[in-house]
Structures are given as structure tokens and as C-alpha cells.
Structure 1
Amino acid sequence: MAEVFIVEDNDNVRDALAGYLKLEGIDVREFGSLGPAESELKRRTPDLLVLDVMLPDGDGFLFAKQVKSRKDIPILFLTARDQESDRITGLEIGADDYVVKPFSPREVVLRIRKILARTSSEGDEKGLVFQLEGSRLEIDREKHRISIDGTGLSLTAAEWNILVHLAERQPQVFSRLQLLESCLGSVAEGSERTIDTHIKNLRRKMENEGWIETVRGFGYRFNGESG
């Protein structure tokens, strides 16, 4: 059974979301502030962290950054702040999704389901191997692992989807809009700049921008050679 931590100081919002998740058969632990959540995270690792940005005892962005430095946990932000800069900040930290209040609990549960499905280690597709400038990239879909020269990459669900989508279809070029729809599941989740942020994070983690080429005026394509 999947386990989700919800860190949200609004009791009504937290209880409603937790109720819907429990109906879906998901185990839920609720926290009204960062302190208790941090203590529990030291003892156990959930499958997903639902995190409010503005909390009474701290900033959700800063807390998420600290969590990400220690554990590879998918994160979905809940916030009343709808500026694009806030969305980009969340994605740069490594969030898998960003939901602006007010929202439908059913919609958030659907988004959570998608994240859990993306991060699941289940799958029976064969692995893929690519070469670039003497480096070797391996995609193991069964173990849900991507490595370069034997070193595993810690990717968010969105980063995983984008990289695998591009690699499986190279040398095809994809627009930002196509990647939003195919890899994030909904064009309405954000502007096309969202894809640019994910690509920036991928390039940083892969330590070589050559793996993903920017096709000026259109989008992106994967540059590795099969084998």
C-alpha cells in the first residue's frame, strides 16, 4: 500500500484530501506543521510528500530542498501563490507537481495517483543503452533506474518521463507543448517554460548538456546513439 504524508496547516483542506486518499486505499499521515513532519521523515520514507508552501513554522520550499538533499521523495506542492516564478521555484527544487488553491480534492488525488504510477518500479520493458562522447547512459525500466557510467541519476517523475520519452524516440524532435501533454499528462499544468525548467534540471544532473539538444524555435531532441 502506498503511503502519503500531507503537510498542510488548514485542517479542512488536509482532512478533505486525506479522506479522498484513504478511499483510494492509500495510507495517509497528516501534519499541521513542518516540525512533526520532519521528525517522522527521520523515521520513515513515504512514497509521496504533499506539502503546503506557506506553513506556520517555516517555508515549504526551503523544507522541500532540505528533504531532497537527504531523500529521493516525490513532492507535490499545495499553495495559494499562483505566480509563475513560484511554480518555477518549486520545479527547480525537484517537485513533481504544483497545485494552486482552491482546488478539487478529487483532482489532487488524480495527480497523486499519476505521480505514484510514474515512480513505481513496476514494468517489463527492456532496458535501453546510449553512448555520447565516451559516456554510457543506461535506462532500466524494470528497476526504474537511469545511470551514466554506472552512477545512478536521482530524477523526479517528470524528469524520468521526459528523458525516457525523448530517448525512446530519438532523433525525433518534440515541441515544449508536445512534451507537456505527453510527459506531464496535462497541458493546463503550466506554461511551456515548465518543460525548460525540467530540461535544465536534467542537464545539470546528467553533467553534459549534449545529451539533450535544444532545437531553436521548436523544442528538444535526445542526442545519444543507441548501443
Structure 2
Amino acid sequence: MRPGDRAVALFVVVGGFLLGFLDFCWIKWLPFPVAELGNSTATWAVAAFFFGYWVRSGRVRAALGAAVLLVVAVPSYYLAAALLQGDDLAVLWAPTSLVWMVFGVLAGVVFGTAGTWARGAGWRQVVGVALPAAVFFEEAARFAGKATDPGYSSGAWWNVAIDLALGLLIVGLMAGSHRRRALTAATAVPLAGAILVSFAVAGGALSPTG
């Protein structure tokens, strides 16, 4: 059953707050390499995807709701940093925070829509499931690049393995038949490349926390 508008609005606000606040706690208190899942653009994008998947129908509602979800999560993250780590509250409205809110709008629209597509059929269902897998594959590629840098921790290979496993898990659980899984995985690879190029154009691989 499709959730009502009030349930969606409540989830957007509460879910966005919890996403940002708990994400900071995850990074601060969990050990490496698991902590890197919090400091991850893929994790936030996939949260928007599953919001759209939960909404079930209404691509505009899913896109707008997912965008608001991620926008709310940004100041919530910085609020957690101020309360739990003593950071300056001014960071909530600093340019970095505003930039991440803009990225949140873009990611929310794309991945919220993908979540509704994942419940459909045909090429939209393939692309819808491939997108969340692609962000994990793209992040795995970035970690692989860091792992080859002598000045970076060799533990980055753990992050490569985790991201690849999560991407494949999404495909395996959501794509359906073996043929559809293979098609979805094949679609996710060029999408991951496009996302990687987008990060390069935007100025490098940034974490959702700035």
C-alpha cells in the first residue's frame, strides 16, 4: 500500500534528521573500515533511492521528498558535530553546508526517481536498480585509486571490497531473474563511470560531510 502524504512528510523530516545525526555518530564511533560507510556519498544516495522505493508511486513526490530528506540531513549532520564534538554551530549555514544541500537536491531527484523505477518494469526497472549499485561501484573505484597511493592506508582495499559487495547485493536482491541481474549489473558499470566523471568535473571525490 502506498504511504499517505502525511506519512511521507513526517518520514522526510524525521528520516532526514536521523540520517544526518546518526551518520555523524557512525563515523565518529565505529572503527575503520566500517566507519567509511558513513563518510560516503553512496550511502546518502542509496538512502534517497530507498525512500523513493518506499513511496512506491508518484515520481514527483518521490523526487521532491528524497531531495528534502537529503537537504535536512546536511544541517542535522553538522548539528551532531556541534553537540557531540564541540564544532562551531556556524557551520550549519556555512558555504560548505549550502553546497552539500544543493548536491542533496540533485541526488534526491535522481535517486528518489530511481527508487520508483525499481518497482516498475522494462528498461526503467533495470536503470532504477542499477543506479544504487552504480554509486557503490563508483565509490569502490575511487577507493581503489586511493589504495594504490603509497601515502594512503592499505585498508582502503577493505572499502573496495565492501562497496563492491553492497553494489552486487543490491543487484542480487532487487533485479529479479538471473538474466535481469546480469543486465542490471552490466548497466551499472557505465553508470558508475558517468558518476566518476561527474565527481571529477565537480572538483574531486568529496564526502557528504565536506
TM over 0.5: no
TM-score norm. by structure 2 comes to 0.34
Higher helix share: 2
Q: Which has the higher contact order (CA 8 A, sep 6+)?
A: 2
More strand by share: 1
Alignment TM-score, normalising by the size of structure 1? 0.32
Structure index of larger Rg:
1
